[in-house]
Chain A
Amino acid sequence: MRFFGVILVLLLALVLLSFTVGRYPVPVETVLSILGAQFLPVTPDWPPETEAVVIGIRLPRILAALLVGGALSISGATYQGLFRNPMVSPGILGVSAGASVGAALAILLGYGMLGIQSFAFAFGLVAVTATWAIGATMGKRGDPILVMVLAGIIIGTLFTAFVSLVKFVADPYNTLPTITFWLMGSLASVELPDLAIAAIPVSLGLAVLLGMSWILNVLCFGDEEAKALGLETGRLRLVIILCATMVTAAAVAIAGIIGLVGLIVPHLARMLVGPDHRVLLPVSTIMGAGFLLAVDNLARSLFEVEVPLGIVTSIIGAPFFLYLLNRTRKAWT
């Protein structure tokens, strides 16, 4: 419990720090007064632009980084436990590939941000439904988990081909660059209304996953043991997959493809707190939120150009992952 306290305080400190990071110069004391003024009656002595930067631009961006980072990490940790495989990332069942198809289609059709997000979310769910349907029908004979993972790979490849198809028919001067940039991942255009919508599936999925974390522990021992304890493994697995998918699809819909977060953070968390999912899932969520927030702070403040977030997470994440790999060769669950 003390550990939770420590990481929550660290996260809170990082959030406060993030309000001071950005291209537009805002002094720390102004940031604090503006934040305070949201709750206390303070007479503003700062220009309205400054408040718009802190509340209008940075606040949604910070919340989005927390939401997306936490979502990707908890679903990564969940899938790694569910499939008993440390190489699994949140995209394993094809949700990212599906969301990419949706977003690319919406861009091709000239829809605005809300259209892109809704399409991405819907197609993410479609892809996972397809994977699950294949797994459920074909997995009856043989190892259901193996079939599900293989189905995920196939569906992922298929939907990636659809993305290429959309890119191929897209106008190379206008639409194609937009699709390409979306696929690189960014939080630059996330706004509070988008977040409010995305927060519904994320918090719903998050709550169920955290509540069911003990079941993941049991499922880790294998179907036989779980059945012996009287658990309906098939149905439970479906609920867990559904929640993890909802959470990931919502995250991808607002942020695009952000690689490695959902793979690395659960490992880092496991290194710190061990494989018990009752602790691992909440710790992964908090650490993922913090990790993505820190990386996004870099992405939005380093240059006048926004560096796509997916690029930064991968460039920072890859060496970091190798370092973890080297340190924890023994500690896989």
Chain B
Amino acid sequence: MNRRQILGTLGLLGALLATSNPVFAERQITDMAGRRIEIPDKVEKVYAIGHCIPIVGAVAPQKLANNYHLSEAALRFLPPVFIENKVIPNTGNSLSDEEVMKMAPDLVVMEKIPGAQERADRLQERLKTPVLLVDLDMLQYKQAFTFLGELLQQPEQGRKLADFVATNMDPIAEKAKSIAQDQRVRVYYAEGPDGLSTNPAGNSHTQVLDFVGGINVAKVTNLPDEGMSSVSLEQLYIWQPDVILAWTPAADRLTTWKAIVENPLWQKVKAVKAGQVLQVPWIPFSWFDRPPSSNRILGTFWLAQTLYPQTFQFDMTTLTQEYFRLFYHKEISAAEVRYLLDLARPTAAASR
């Protein structure tokens, strides 16, 4: 035990004493960055930072202490346990230290990204609350669910989620490897109000595309963090993607989707000509990206089947219902599944 850990432990003990909590028992846990952290025996309240909200909510919605600002449409598709009594930041997506202190969580869960270890250590010192790192990489979901299940004392739920990933999602990557190179679909991820920003292959924001074996046409430098490299339409004439995915902010108004589909200049791009501009479904969280968390699991099924209907034939209704039951703790009807899937093709949905 080094000095920092001793101090942290002492601080934690002090905090526990101060709240006159009779629980002294503690357990040790290793987080997904390999840090050994002492955590309270009973975990009732968890502050999930940013991208961790969906994944913590999937394991233990009753313990999730905070949430995003969610639209009306998103709220309709989440159960009360996922939305009631949650602290919602007044600005942006993060809470100040004092707001976190007021919330008094037993634990803080943070995404493991480069540089996160130091930030987690510092935050832990300041808040005197254990801060644990969880890996949100799609290839680590099984480990993440097992880890969170243990951490949040919901091992059964964690195992169920990990099993769902192992049974339904992981085989997609395996099967996708067998798709011949010349059969692969070339995809452009259109971000920004004009659709002229994007993220390249290998980026966390486009990992679903890599996962299902799509070719990301954007061969641009992988910028850190949000990325969103700006490209010109001329470059898209060269790339000529087969499919365009429109990102989800302002998706209810179809801002980006319309900027592409209704613009005569975009008609020279293969995907637009072929009517293959897809609006990524966004309810209750985006199915593809932002936040790049466990909400992307559902998008994996959707995108795999959309790009390769010959290779992947899922029963999307059952699968979506099961996903909502397990991850959002909500029963939805087949008609509601239809509604969610129809969001991807706004013209088809309008003419229905």
Is there an interface contact between B230 and A52, defined as CB atoms closer than 8 Å? no
Query: 1/0 per position for B244-257, CB-CB distance to A under 8 A?
Result: 00011110010100
Is there an interface contact between B235 and A304, defined as CB atoms closer than 8 Å? yes
A221 within 8 A of partner (CB)? no
Query: 1/0 per position for B286-319, CB-CB distance to A under 8 A?
Result: 0000110000000000000000000000000000
Query: 1/0 per position for A161-194, CB-CB distance to B under 8 A?
Result: 0000000111111111110010000101101000
Contacting residues, chain B, for A112 (C-beta < 8 A): 193-194, 255, 258-259
B140 within 8 A of partner (CB)? no
Among A49, A172, A178, A306, contact of B93 (Cβ-Cβ < 8 Å)? A172
Contacting residues, chain B, for A56 (C-beta < 8 A): 264-265, 268
Is there an interface contact between A52 and B92, defined as CB atoms closer than 8 Å? no
B155 within 8 A of partner (CB)? no
Query: 1/0 per position for B211-245, CB-CB distance to A under 8 A?
Result: 00000000111000010111111110110000000
Contacting residues, chain B, for A305 (C-beta < 8 A): 220-221, 229-231
Secondary structure type dominating chain B contacts: loop
Contacting residues, chain B, for A22 (C-beta < 8 A): 232, 234
Is there an interface contact between B193 and A178, defined as CB atoms closer than 8 Å? yes
Is there an interface contact between B237 and A110, defined as CB atoms closer than 8 Å? no
B281 → chain A closest CB, angstroms: 16
Query: 1/0 per position for A48-66, CB-CB distance to B under 8 A?
Result: 1100110011100000000
Is there an interface contact between B290 and A116, defined as CB atoms closer than 8 Å? no
Chain B count of residues within 8 A CB distance of the other chain: 39
Is there an interface contact between A172 and B290, defined as CB atoms closer than 8 Å? no
Closest chain A residue, CB of each to CB of B258: A112
Contacting residues, chain B, for A178 (C-beta < 8 A): 192-193, 197, 228, 249
CA–CA, A238 and B325, complex, Å: 66
Is there an interface contact between B232 and A306, defined as CB atoms closer than 8 Å? yes
Closest chain A residue, CB of each to CB of B226: A177
B28 within 8 A of partner (CB)? no
B201 within 8 A of partner (CB)? no
- Given the known interface contacts A23-B238, A305-B229, A305-B230, the answer about A191 and B263 at a Cβ–Cβ threshold of 8 Å is yes
Contacting residues, chain A, for B347 (C-beta < 8 A): none
Contacting residues, chain A, for B228 (C-beta < 8 A): 177-178, 181
CA–CA, A52 and B273, complex, Å: 14
Question: In the complex, which residues 95-145 of chain A have their Cβ closer than 8 Å to any Cβ of chain B?
Answer: 107, 110-113, 116
Is there an interface contact between B231 and A170, defined as CB atoms closer than 8 Å? no
B91 within 8 A of partner (CB)? yes
Closest chain A residue, CB of each to CB of B252: A110
Is there an interface contact between B247 and A174, defined as CB atoms closer than 8 Å? yes
Contacting residues, chain B, for A23 (C-beta < 8 A): 232, 234-235, 238
Is there an interface contact between A181 and B253, defined as CB atoms closer than 8 Å? no
Contacting residues, chain A, for B194 (C-beta < 8 A): 112-113, 188-189
Closest chain A residue, CB of each to CB of B292: A173
Is there an interface contact between B268 and A181, defined as CB atoms closer than 8 Å? no
Interface centre among A116, A168, A178, A186 (most CB of B within 10 A): A178
